[in-house]
Structure 1
């Protein structure tokens, strides 16, 4: 029997306290679960209970774990935190922390503006998988197949494998990422034995707060410039780019179609706006709606969306096959989702991009680009290089 949802008593908006959010950021240690969003900062320590991997729908397993958690932990305010991988067959890395500390959003904490102390200099060795040239050839081939009518869009990714002879300093990376884009979604969660997913995503997949849902698909991107005039020109050109506007419209329509069955009302702006990170400009649309059934959870909504065309392509099944044919690596948690949900069904789930997985002394970075018929190998390769910059800057490395 499906466990009923409880009234939300878990994560009210914390009162603003100077230094509260940055204190949680500074307290993070590998093995913890850290997530900072524009609404709150969460730090989960230890594991009370893990979400199992079996044949049941993930949403059912999470409901059951949250329903049982108060009896097992003595905490009526339990949440599930962690990540869900790109592949539907791979196990999730979700758990109820043994203890949970919350604070207001990092962006509201003035101390987030303070610089991060430099760690020891590291001599990173960087290996491209595939190389930029190989990636460009894959982009050109996929674009030609799209123009021939085989499929509509595919997102192709590549990785950088970084090594320096010792394990990376994950807390330092996390602090640098959070300070670079404090208004985004910064995370560090364990995904396996001695394996950690860490990153700073600009993209909210979906959130639920009571009966209100919000999704913020991003698709269509350009690298930013350090020259102010050129940066403004690039932002304006992105807003008028037929290629990027088409790519964005495909994603927004897919989001609307997935969420509409859950809603009594859904609102989708007619035109996208611009959002920026330190490295990129993105076309953005904020979709809002009211739930028809109050029993629909944040993870129900996220599962209906995952993966969006922004990280996979269209049609979804065919795009997955195309990705498997071109990408010489397993995406793992990349382009999955990371977030939290409480027993009432409220939660926030973020698209897992601008990220890396650390395993032992290996740090693997991921970046991808949406390929349509008008895509060029040079532009998409440059876009992935720009997206890598977020993480490369956080570790003190260069491509």
Structure 2
């Protein structure tokens, strides 16, 4: 396998991306274009074995349910890898575009109400409930949408899933990265839709920072990630309070957690597998939240709420949480969004939150109305 610094810049590598023949992953640290597939791993242990056997890098995605024969990952050792700088500045404010209309979903409202009742009865503390939309689009080409998404999130991806399918999206959430001895994570939990009106947008941001319900939801995720990293790290630094993270459609509460890895033999992929799924996409306690998701959601998440990224042979790498995403095939695509349900959650507010999160993909797709 060759791994070269490309003569193209980050935007050029995005332009060179060809669904079905390559995969792309762009982050604030740089852009990777993986061409061809020398080997494919369907589980995290298989991918780690490939790295130990001499592969210089694995790149791809793993599903919400890890290491299950029923839910294979797509982690590729490419034939050729090209690297370039980051794509460029990310948008920090909503663009002037048509507002995606609310998407009625009585089943989702009922599921949220049921979850709130279960939480009140002590069945679990938090659960993340997701929705999906099916968009018919014969002959759909993911490439221009991936390029459009590059301004929508810190981690842009277009991953070949095989059989004519592509995972594409723009995630704002870093699950974990490892570069040398430095480990970083940035769990996001607690959200509010943004407004095109600057004064109202500022009011919403302030309200999120003061929201007891959202601060409680964020604490579940931040504490779980810190506990997950603690066995692997020394000198772990966890913010005492979350900060605001902006995307074009959402304000989020985020906590940048950093530390120094104790054992350099533990790779970024191993760290990601140890943390996944966090309460930000599953809930807490994890086993009870998984049971609730299986009971209350009406679809298979597949790669949604999984992890996407790369790890090299030296253990460095970065993995994002697979949100603000879609899976696409020749006849169309499925778009996903979820919301964290805790005590005090309001079903209508959670529905509005998922509508706003769906807006990232729908805007990139040019969809301004949904039948």
Any stretches of 5+ residues in structure 1 without a counterpart? Answer: 1-8, 71-77, 113-125
Q: Is 1:176 aligned with 2:148?
A: yes
Query: RMSD of the TM alignment (CA)?
Result: 2.0
Q: Provide the residue aligned with 1:97 in structure 2.
A: 78
1:372 paired residue number: 342
The aligned residue for residue 119 of structure 1 is none
State yes or no: 1:148 paired with 2:121: yes
Deviations along 1:314-357, whole A, 9 cap, x unmatched? 11111111001111110000000000000001000000000000
Q: Is the partner of 1:106 in helix, strand or coil?
A: coil
* Equivalence for 2:319: 349
**Which residue of structure 2 aligns with residue 21 of structure 1?**
10
Q: Is 1:219 aligned to 2:189, yes or no?
A: yes
Report the counterpart of residue 61 of structure 1 in structure 2: 46
Deviation at 1:108? 5.8
SS of alignment partner, residue 328 of structure 1:
coil
**Superposition deviation, residue 372 in structure 1:** 0.4
User: For 1:169-318, what aligned pairs fall within 5 Å after superposition?
Assistant: 169-181=141-153, 184-318=154-288
Q: After TM superposition, give the deviation of residue 311 of structure 1 in Å.
A: 0.1
What's 2:31 paired with?
Answer: 41
Residues 187 and 256 in structure 2, CA contact (< 8 A), matched pair in contact too:
yes
Partner of 1:85: 63
1:84–1:93 CA contact under 8 A, matched in 2:
yes
CA deviation after TM superposition for structure 1 residue 67, in Å: 3.3
Asked if the contact 1:82/1:338 (under 8 Å) is kept, the reply is yes
SS of 2:53's partner is helix
Offset, 1:63: 2.8
The whole-number CA distance in structure 1 between the counterparts of 2:330 and 2:201 is 38
**Deviation digits for residues 126-152 of structure 1 (CA, Å, limit 9, x no counterpart):** 9x7xx5221011101101110111110
Q: Give the Å deviation of 1:378.
A: 0.6
Deviations 1:246-277 (Å, cap 9, x if unpaired)?
00011111011110011121000101000100
- Indicate conservation of the 8 Å contact 1:143/1:372, yes or no: yes
User: Residues of 2 paired with 1:179 and 1:351: CA distance?
Assistant: 17
* 3-state SS of paired residue (2:299): coil
Deviation at 1:179, TM superposition (A): 3.1
Find the counterpart in structure 1 of residue 96 from structure 2: none
Deviation of residue 66 (structure 1)? 2.0
1:151-206: CA deviation from partner (whole Å, max 9, x where unpaired):
10000000010003x1212111111111344xx10000022311110000000000
SS at match of 1:107: coil
Determine helix, strand or coil for the equivalent of 2:266.
coil
Query: Residues 11-36 of structure 1: CA distance to partner in whole angstroms, max 9, x if unpaired?
Result: 9xx69x8x611110101111211000
Displacement, 1:279?
0.4
CA contact (8 A) 2:187 2:280 kept: yes
Aligned match of 2:97: none
Runs of 4+ in 1 over 6 A off after TM superposition: none
Give TM-score scaled by structure 1 length. Answer: 0.85
Please give the alpha-carbon distance, in whole angstroms, between the structure 1 residues aligned to 2:190 and 2:360. Answer: 17
Structure 2: unaligned runs, 5 residues or longer: 92-100
**Superposed displacement of residue 10, structure 1:** 7.0
- Work out the number of aligned pairs and report it: 354
CA contact (8 A) 1:251 1:308 kept: yes
Asked whether the equivalents of residues 156 and 169 of structure 2 are also in contact (C-alpha less than 8 Å), the reply is: yes
1:396 CA drift (Å):
1.1
Contact 1:50 1:96 in 2 (8 A): yes
